Amino acid sequence: MIAVIGAGASGLVGAIAAARKGAKVCIYEKNSKIGRKILATGNGRCNITNQNIELSNFHGQQPFFVNSSIKRFNTFTCKDFFTELGIEMVEGQKGRLYPKSLQSSSVVELLVYECKRLGVTFYLDSEVTNITKKGEGFCLHVNEKSLHVNKVLVATGGLAMPSLGSCDSGYTFAKNFGHDIVPTHASLVQLVCKEDLKAIGGVKVEGMIEVLENGQSISSASGDILFTNYGISGSAVLDISRVAGHALLHNRALHVKIDLLPEYSKEQLKNLLKKRQKNSHGKSVALWLDGFINSKLASFIAKELPKKSADELNIKDITKLVYALKNFQLKVTDTKGYKTAEVTAGGVSVDQINAQTLESKLQRGLYFSGEVLDIDADCGGYNLHWAWASGYCAGNEIVK
C-alpha cells in the first residue's frame, strides 16, 4: 500500500501515476474537499502549465534539481497527460495554458475521476499528524488511528494561503526523518510599503518596477502595478516579490523604483512636458498632468513640486518631474505574507532528495513532491507544472 499525503496538484498526479503502474494507493487529505487550492488557481481558471518550460523559471537553493522532472514531464507530456483525462488546453498570454473550459473545477473533477477509476481510495477530513518508521514500512497517525503502509509520498504543499489547507506538517515530517528545511518566505505576493499611499489606492499603471537593495538593482519586471492602501500589488509586483521576500527575510533594506512611463526615455519625456507647457494656460501642475497620467497620481506627484502653475515650471522643476515619473521610489517594509501569497519559497532542502526519483536520501520508501520542497517558480503556470511533474515522477518511481 502506498500512502499519498495531500490531495493537491502533486498528490493527485502522484497517485494516478502510481496506480497506473498497478499499485494500491490511498490519499489522506485534511480538508473535507479534494484539490481546494487547484480550484483557486488562475482566478478560478487554472493556469495548468506554460508553452515554455525552462530551468530559469524555477527557483530555490538548487533550481537545477527540477531538471530531471521537467525533462520527463515537459509541456508535451503535460498536455498528453491532461488530454488523456479529457482536458483540452487553450493558450492565453505569455504562453499560459488553461483548460478549454476555463474552469479549474474541471481539472479537479477529471483528476478525481481518474483516481477513482484506478481504484485510488480517498480519506478526507484526515490529517496525518505523524509518520514513523515501522518494520519495512511506515506508520501513519491519522484521526487518532495508526495505519501501516509500505511507502509514503509527502505532497503536503507549502504555507501559502492557509485558508485553503496549507500548513507546515510536511516540514515537520521531513525534520523528523533528519531533513534540513530551507527558511521559507511568501512569494508571488503583494508588498507593504512605508509611504502612505491611500491617496492613490486603486490606481493601476502599466509600468516597470525594479527592486533596489542598498541602491543596487537586484530584480525588475514590467506589467501591471496597482497602488493600494498598504502598498503595491499587480502582476509586475508579484513577479519581483520572490527576490523582495528573500531580501526582507535577511533584514536587508529594500526599495522599489517604479517607472510610471516606461514608453518614454527621460529625454523624450522632458521634451514632451516642455511641449505640453505651451498649452497649459495657467493650469495647476496636477490638472496639467491629468489626462496624461491618472488624475490621483497627478495630484500625488504634483505635491512634490513647488507651488507654481504648470507654465511657470522652470527646467529644474521639469527635470524633477521627469525624475518623479521615472524614479517613483517606495520603501518596502514587508510582504503581505502567507495569508495572500500564491506560493512558498524555501521548504524541504533538495540536498537530501534524489532528483531522479524524489525519494529521500535519508529514509528509503519516503518520497516528497510539489511545493513542500525547496522549489518555487515564476507566475505563469510554472508552479503547477512543478507540482504535476514532480508528482508524476515520484508516483512512477515509488512503485519500483
How many Å apart are CA 178 and CA 190, to the nearest integer? 34
69 is an interface residue for ligand FAD by CB under 6 A: no
Q: Which residues pair with 203 in a beta bridge?
A: none
245 is an interface residue for ligand FAD by CB under 6 A: no
156 is an interface residue for ligand FAD by CB under 6 A: yes
How many Å apart are CA 400 and CA 397, to the nearest integer? 5
Least distance CB 12 / ligand FAD (angstroms): 8
Least distance CB 322 / ligand FAD (angstroms): 37
Q: In the numeric block, which cell numbers belong to residue 31?
A: 480538508
| Residue range at the interface with ligand FAD (CB under 6 A); choices 238-246, 281-289, 306-314, 383-391 | 383-391
Q: Do β-strands 2-5 and 25-28 pair in parallel, antiparallel, or remain unpaired?
A: parallel
Least distance CB 34 / ligand FAD (angstroms): 8
Which three-class secondary structure state does DSSP give residue 50? strand
115 is an interface residue for ligand FAD by CB under 6 A: no
Measured on CA atoms in the order 310, 199, 322, 331, is the torsion positive or negative?
positive
Least distance CB 167 / ligand FAD (angstroms): 5
- Phi/psi class of residue 203: alpha, beta or left (left: φ > 0; alpha: ψ in -120 to 50)? beta
User: Mask: binding to ligand FAD, 280-319, rule CB under 6 A, as x and -?
Assistant: ----------------------------------------
| Residue range at the interface with ligand FAD (CB under 6 A); choices 9-17, 191-199, 273-281, 348-356 | 9-17
9 is an interface residue for ligand FAD by CB under 6 A: yes
- Return the number of the residue (140 or 205) whose C-beta is nearest ligand FAD: 140
In one-letter notation, the amino acid at residue 154 is V
Kindly tell me which residue out of 58, 82, 288, 382 binds ligand FAD, with binding defined by CB under 6 A.
Answer: 382
3-state secondary structure 258-313: EECCCCCCHHHHHHHHHHHHCCCCCCEHHHHHECCECHHHHHHHHCCCCCCEHHHC
How many Å apart are CA 47 and CA 99, to the nearest integer? 8
Least distance CB 129 / ligand FAD (angstroms): 7
Q: In this chain, which residue has its C-beta nearest to ligand FAD?
A: 8
Kindly tell me which residue out of 149, 161, 240, 258 binds ligand FAD, with binding defined by CB under 6 A.
Answer: 161
Strand order from edge to edge, sheet including 137-142? 128-134, 137-142, 145-149
Tell me the number of residues near ligand FAD by CB under 6 A. 38
Q: Could you give the C-alpha distances from 98 to 14, 39, 85, 112, 384, in angstroms and in order?
A: 21, 13, 14, 18, 11
Q: Do β-strands 181-187 and 216-227 pair in parallel, antiparallel, or remain unpaired?
A: unpaired
User: Mask: binding to ligand FAD, 10-49, rule CB under 6 A, as x and -?
Assistant: xx----------------xxxx----xx--xxx---xx--
Q: Which of 188, 185, 159, 153 lies closest to 171, judged by CA?
A: 159
| Residue range at the interface with ligand FAD (CB under 6 A); choices 18-26, 78-86, 158-166, 356-364 | 158-166
- Return the number of the residue (116 or 274) whose C-beta is nearest ligand FAD: 116
Which residues of this chain interact with ligand FAD, rule CB under 6 A?
A: 5-11, 28-31, 36-37, 40-42, 46-47, 127-128, 155-157, 160-161, 165-167, 169, 342-343, 370-371, 381-384, 387
